[in-house]
């Protein structure tokens, strides 16, 4: 087990370096093709060359390679990682410097600000997906061909076929604004429900309640897959030999389903849930944007829109690390669920 | 909860107003005029440090925290605030006297040094301040900039020759002297721009800390610190001696998307919402009635013509192109009437604005055709119309092209392939091979700001490459004029030159579309600096 973990951790290095270089290359080409992002700060007004140059220089965007389309800018890449000198000293990721945005704010600070929101919204989404998804899947799986089965099947198709931004906007307008306004008209409804849970956007005063709606929207992303997967898996396992044996031994239905069936059925579901965590990060770009949650997704969306390549690379690198750790964790969880799996 | 107390509040306010109307004695400020929390829609500022902030979201907040030498009245004339007087005999050497008694929130007094140090910091090239170029007309600016050694490389740039502007001279603690490189009558108006605000010494020692937690000298001070992407909360600064803020607290709630902010306004979370999303304007007008506020803004949109291209050098052709655009029809069809068609090149809010100044900006297809024939017809083939990608300019640019095709028989093609930075760089380098969309907004209310940068020889944003000694001369005469009225006469003549020569085709000025909630009793709007949040009065909450 220990050796397996170490081996997996060593695999991180080439993966992260590869990702980093790819991102670096793509954003460099982006800049080579679309021009100096500093120029756009001034909009339609033309700043004098001296001002433009001074800011470009201060942001380390003055390397001539950024003007040569196709140039991979190796030197910049090494500087960014922290193995090549900038102005006579090393200053890159290895030294803990992830760069700054166009307004000189450190990327680490930006991530530090945004991370708590994303963690909260991810937790809510994960709980929604895991609890509702597995419950619906088990209900559908154990009542194959019954009402519950059809209900779950149809509703999951509905959820999966509506794009997340449409879903988000609809929920915002009808649940957050209109239903919310009706609730707010009732004097007996406590404020944390009427303003907190049912609102159009994240509110500082209700750090958890106001994340419920966006969290649910985000959770819905993976809910359908989880429910479907659980349903199929449960159905299969119900027909398996060990379940028949358990039943023959005279165990209660509760124990047969809750322990014997579910535990085995959950193996593919856990993988899916783990990967959902990564899907949330992409879904969060849309969901956090709609509900104004000042989290990582929001930041990435804005960085893309404003051509903040340094921010984009910095955040994505951290996300890749998080993603790799999650997949490692999922792999390790296998062994807990399925004793047949050994890591040697 | 809020809704119920509101009705009562509105009723009380109405009664109070009627009562006030009956008594003829001037009333002192009633207690109900102050108090409450004003919740304002905002976008994430770029910075809260005046030298580094040149975007609207930043300036709106900075104006509450800091106070400059002057403010603007509703007509755009500068009114002294921190300044006691700003005088000059030749518009070149300006003497600024300060009132005493103003203090930063760390108890540091606002002195001549607060201005001189701030301006030196801003101008010093290596500080990379976004507002640096605003100081370029102060003597010695060039010596504070460093030149790239190889013109284009990552090599360390040399230290600039000087650290302080030679054009700034301290006389005593409350007096300083500014020497400009060229006479400029608009200087007193210019210093009202937030890039000229004073900065505490403690701020210059630790810029980062001061960006997150500004040490201001204005009507409001920051509570806690700037919560990025969440909010900036300000409370009334009781040490501020001039006109105090009305609301107890101002909360600038930060939204990433206008649509989300508007949804939150509808959900009762905001009191003032600026710039209603275009798709919602009609519904908002119907729903909010008097609480929907619309006024012309100063944002100017134009179609620049590349005068460096031989095909656009004949004035008659430019006039024909302008006359063949039905601006109002485009505004109505594409923008729901949310703009006002340009009648000149200067904002309708500015002193010296004249209705119908531009005879060539009316829609007159017959005259357009005859002018084109006089010029010998169009021989340039297809016109390429340029706009930057992804900013929603396609529709109206297409309408412009369609007009030319219909009325003048000139075929066109749209090019919206370039991203903003690349598009702007192409304009800077004068490489457009056809008309291009650009815009302009003033930073201070002076007629000249709509003229010199855009059309002056070597003007900073003169992307059409226009040059006309007669025009330059008139602007210079305006800059050197003894009084503002005298100056405006010259500026107006300069505008006449432009609307006849048409180096750019004026399109329209924007319109402000704001809504405010029932919590707001008095909404105060300044056509130059926007909503005056410190003067907005709230209804008393229960």
pLDDT score of B148 = 61
To probe the interface with A, which of B144, B229, B259 has the most A CB atoms within 10 Å? Answer: B229
Kindly indicate the confidence band of residue B3, based on its pLDDT and cuts at 50, 70 and 90: very low
pLDDT score of A334 = 77
pLDDT digits (tens, 9 = 90+) for B373-395: 999 999 889 999 999 998 889 99
Out of B132, B231, B266, name the one closest to residue A177 (CB): B266
Within 13 A of B222's CA, how many CA atoms are on the CB side? 23
Average pLDDT over residues A34-48: 87
Q: Mean pLDDT, chain B, as a whole number? A: 90
Average pLDDT over residues B85-105: 95
Q: Which tokens hold the place of B507?
A: 């399109």
List Cβ neighbours of B143 (8 Å cut-off, separation of 6 or more).
Answer: B160, B161, B162, B166
pLDDT digits (tens, 9 = 90+) for B191-226: 999 999 999 999 999 999 999 999 999 999 999 999
Question: Quick check: B424 and A40 CB within 8 A?
Answer: yes
Q: Which tokens hold the place of B209?
A: 């800390």
Question: Quick check: A42 and B130 CB within 8 A?
Answer: yes
In the A/B pair of chains, how many CB contacts fall below 8 A? 161
Query: For residues A62 and A48, is the Cβ–Cβ distance under 8 A?
Result: no
Average pLDDT over residues B347-359: 93
Q: Mean pLDDT, chain A, as a whole number? A: 89
Please name the residue of chain A whose CA is at the shortest distance from the CA of residue B391. A305
The CA–CA distances, whole Å, from B374 to B363, B383, B499 equal: 18, 19, 19
**B-chain residues near A34 (CB < 8 A):** 418-422
Average pLDDT over residues A170-193: 92
Residues within 8 A of A (CB atoms), B 38-67 only:
46-47, 52, 54
Closest to B218 measured CA to CA, from B376, B134, B110, B318: B110
pLDDT score of B14 = 43
The CA–CA distances, whole Å, from A16 to A19, A308, A310 equal: 5, 20, 16
pLDDT digits (tens, 9 = 90+) for B121-180: 999 999 999 999 999 999 999 999 987 655 555 456 788 999 999 999 999 999 999 999
List Cβ neighbours of B115 (8 Å cut-off, separation of 6 or more).
Answer: B69, B96, B176, B196, B198
Query: For residues B149 and B129, is the Cβ–Cβ distance under 8 A?
Result: no
pLDDT score of B23 = 40
Question: Quick check: A54 and B257 CB within 8 A?
Answer: no
Most confident stretch, A300-304, A325-329, B220-224, B417-421: B220-224
Within 13 A of B453's CA, how many CA atoms are on the CB side? 23
Please name the residue of chain A whose CA is at the shortest distance from the CA of residue B228. A113
CA pair distance A259, A262, nearest whole angstrom:
6
**B-chain residues near A55 (CB < 8 A):** 128, 130
pLDDT digits (tens, 9 = 90+) for A118-154: 999 999 999 999 999 999 999 999 888 889 999 999 9
Q: What is the pTM of this model?
A: 0.89
List Cβ neighbours of B11 (8 Å cut-off, separation of 6 or more).
Answer: none
pLDDT score of A8 = 85
pLDDT score of B8 = 44
SS3 B304: strand
pLDDT digits (tens, 9 = 90+) for A199-250: 999 999 999 999 999 999 999 888 999 999 999 999 999 888 988 898 899 8
**B-chain residues near A200 (CB < 8 A):** 260, 263-264, 266-267, 269
Whether B13 shows a pLDDT value over 70: the answer reads no
Out of B46, B157, B421, name the one closest to residue A36 (CB): B421
List Cβ neighbours of A263 (8 Å cut-off, separation of 6 or more).
Answer: A337
Residues within 8 A of A (CB atoms), B 211-250 only:
227-231
Whether B5 shows a pLDDT value over 90: the answer reads no
**A-chain residues near B6 (CB < 8 A):** none
Question: Quick check: A292 and B256 CB within 8 A?
Answer: yes
Question: Quick check: A291 and B419 CB within 8 A?
Answer: no
**Chain B touched by A43 (CB under 8 Å):** yes
Kindly indicate the confidence band of residue B26, based on its pLDDT and cuts at 50, 70 and 90: very low
CA pair distance B193, B441, nearest whole angstrom:
13
CA pair distance B52, B356, nearest whole angstrom:
38
Kindly indicate the confidence band of residue B17, based on its pLDDT and cuts at 50, 70 and 90: very low
Average pLDDT over residues B310-322: 95
Out of B127, B255, B439, name the one closest to residue A201 (CB): B255
Interface ipTM: 0.88
Whether B20 shows a pLDDT value over 50: the answer reads no
Lowest mean pLDDT among B11-15, B92-96, B457-461: B11-15
Handedness of CA B11, B16, B19, B21 (dihedral sign): negative
How far B27 CA sits from the closest chain A CA (Å)?
36
CA pair distance B151, B161, nearest whole angstrom:
17
pLDDT score of B476 = 95
**Chain A touched by B422 (CB under 8 Å):** yes
SS3 B180: strand
Average pLDDT over residues B405-432: 93
Whether B6 shows a pLDDT value over 80: the answer reads no
How far B24 CA sits from the closest chain A CA (Å)?
40
Whether B116 shows a pLDDT value over 50: the answer reads yes
**A-chain residues near B50 (CB < 8 A):** none
């Amino acid at each position: 087990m220990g050796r397996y973990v170490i081996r997996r951790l060593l695999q991180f290095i080439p993966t992260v370096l590869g990702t980093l270089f790819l991102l670096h290359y793509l954003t460099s080409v982006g800049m080579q093709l679309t021009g100096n992002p500093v120029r756009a700060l001034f909009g339609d007004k033309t700043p004098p060359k001296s001002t433009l140059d001074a800011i470009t220089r201060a942001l380390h965007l003055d390397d001539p390679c950024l003007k040569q389309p196709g140039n991979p800018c190796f030197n910049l890449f090494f500087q960014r990682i922290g193995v090549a000198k900038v102005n006579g000293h090393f200053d890159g990721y290895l030294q803990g410097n992830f760069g700054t945005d166009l307004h000189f704010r450190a990327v680490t600070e930006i991530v530090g600000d945004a991370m708590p929101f994303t963690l909260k919204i991810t937790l809510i989404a994960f709980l929604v997906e895991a609890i509702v998804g597995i419950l619906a899947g088990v209900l559908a799986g154990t009542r194959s061909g019954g009402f519950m089965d059809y209900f779950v099947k149809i509703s999951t198709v509905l959820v999966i076929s509506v794009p997340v931004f449409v879903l988000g906007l609809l929920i915002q307008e009808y649940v957050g604004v209109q239903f919310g306004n009706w609730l707010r008209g009732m004097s007996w409804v406590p404020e944390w429900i009427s303003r907190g849970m049912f609102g159009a956007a994240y509110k500082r005063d209700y750090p958890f309640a106001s994340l419920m709606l966006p969290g649910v929207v985000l959770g819905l992303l993976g809910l359908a897959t989880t429910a479907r997967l659980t349903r199929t898996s449960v159905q299969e396992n119900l027909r398996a030999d060990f379940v028949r044996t358990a039943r023959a031994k005279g165990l209660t239905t509760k124990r047969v389903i809750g322990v014997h069936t579910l535990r085995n059925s959950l193996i593919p579901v856990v993988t899916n849930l783990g990967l959902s965590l990564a899907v949330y990060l992409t879904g969060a770009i849309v969901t956090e944007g709609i509900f104004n949650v000042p989290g990582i997704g929001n930041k990435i969306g804005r960085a893309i829109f404003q051509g903040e390549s340094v921010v984009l690379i910095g955040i994505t690198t951290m996300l890749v690390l998080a993603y790799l750790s999650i997949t490692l964790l999922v792999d390790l969880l296998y062994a807990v669920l399925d004793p047949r799996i050994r890591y040697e | 909860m809020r809704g119920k107390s509101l009705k009562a509040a509105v009723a009380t306010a109405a009664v109070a107003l009627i009562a006030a109307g009956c008594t003829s004695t001037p009333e002192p400020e009633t207690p109900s005029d102050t108090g409450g929390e004003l919740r304002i829609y905002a976008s994430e500022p770029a910075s809260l440090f005046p030298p580094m902030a040149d975007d609207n979201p930043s300036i709106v907040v900075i104006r509450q925290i800091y106070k400059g030498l002057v403010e603007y009245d509703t007509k755009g004339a500068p009114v002294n605030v921190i300044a006691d007087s700003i005088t000059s005999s030749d518009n070149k050497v300006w003497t600024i006297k300060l009132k005493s008694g103003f203090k930063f929130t760390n108890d540091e007094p606002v002195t001549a040094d607060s201005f001189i140090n701030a301006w030196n910091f801003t101008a010093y090239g290596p500080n990379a301040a976004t507002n640096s170029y605003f100081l370029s007309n102060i003597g010695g600016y060039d010596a504070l900039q460093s030149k790239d050694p190889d013109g284009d490389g990552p090599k360390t740039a040399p230290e600039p020759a000087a650290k302080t502007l030679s054009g700034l001279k301290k006389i005593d603690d409350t007096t300083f002297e500014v020497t400009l490189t060229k006479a400029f009558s608009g200087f007193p108006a210019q210093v009202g721009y937030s890039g000229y605000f004073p900065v505490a010494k403690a701020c210059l020692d630790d810029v980062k800390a001061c960006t997150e937690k500004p040490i201001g000298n204005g009507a409001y001070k920051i509570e806690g610190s700037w919560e990025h992407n969440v909010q900036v909360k300000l409370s009334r600064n009781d040490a501020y001696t001039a006109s105090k803020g009305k609301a107890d607290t101002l909360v600038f709630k930060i939204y990433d998307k206008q649509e989300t902010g508007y949804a939150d306004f509808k959900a009762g979370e905001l009191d003032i919402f600026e710039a209603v999303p275009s798709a919602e304007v009609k519904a908002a007008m119907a729903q909010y009635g008097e609480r929907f506020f619309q006024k012309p803004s100063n944002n100017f949109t134009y179609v620049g013509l590349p005068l460096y291209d031989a095909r656009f050098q004949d004035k008659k052709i430019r006039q024909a192109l302008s006359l063949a655009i039905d601006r109002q029809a485009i505004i109505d069809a594409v923008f729901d009437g949310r703009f006002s068609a340009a009648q000149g090149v200067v904002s309708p809010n500015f002193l010296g604005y004249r209705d119908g100044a531009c005879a060539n900006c009316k829609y007159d297809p017959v005259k357009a055709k005859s002018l084109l024939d006089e010029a010998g017809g169009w021989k340039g083939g297809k016109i390429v119309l340029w706009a930057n990608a992804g900013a929603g300019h396609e529709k109206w640019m297409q309408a412009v092209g369609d007009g030319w095709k219909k009325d003048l028989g000139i075929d066109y093609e749209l090019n919206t392939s370039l991203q903003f930075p690349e598009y702007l760089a192409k304009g800077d380098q004068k490489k457009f091979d056809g008309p291009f969309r650009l815009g302009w907004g003033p930073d201070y209310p002076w007629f000249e700001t709509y003229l010199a940068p855009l059309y002056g020889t070597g003007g900073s944003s003169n992307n059409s490459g226009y040059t006309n000694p007669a025009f330059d001369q008139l602007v210079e005469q305006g800059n050197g004029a003894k009084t503002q009225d005298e100056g405006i006469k010259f500026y107006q003549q300069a505008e006449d030159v432009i609307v006849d020569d048409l180096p750019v085709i004026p399109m329209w000025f924007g319109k402000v579309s704001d809504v405010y909630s029932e919590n707001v009793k008095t909404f105060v709007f300044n056509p130059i600096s926007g909503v005056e949040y410190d003067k907005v009065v709230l209804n008393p909450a229960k």
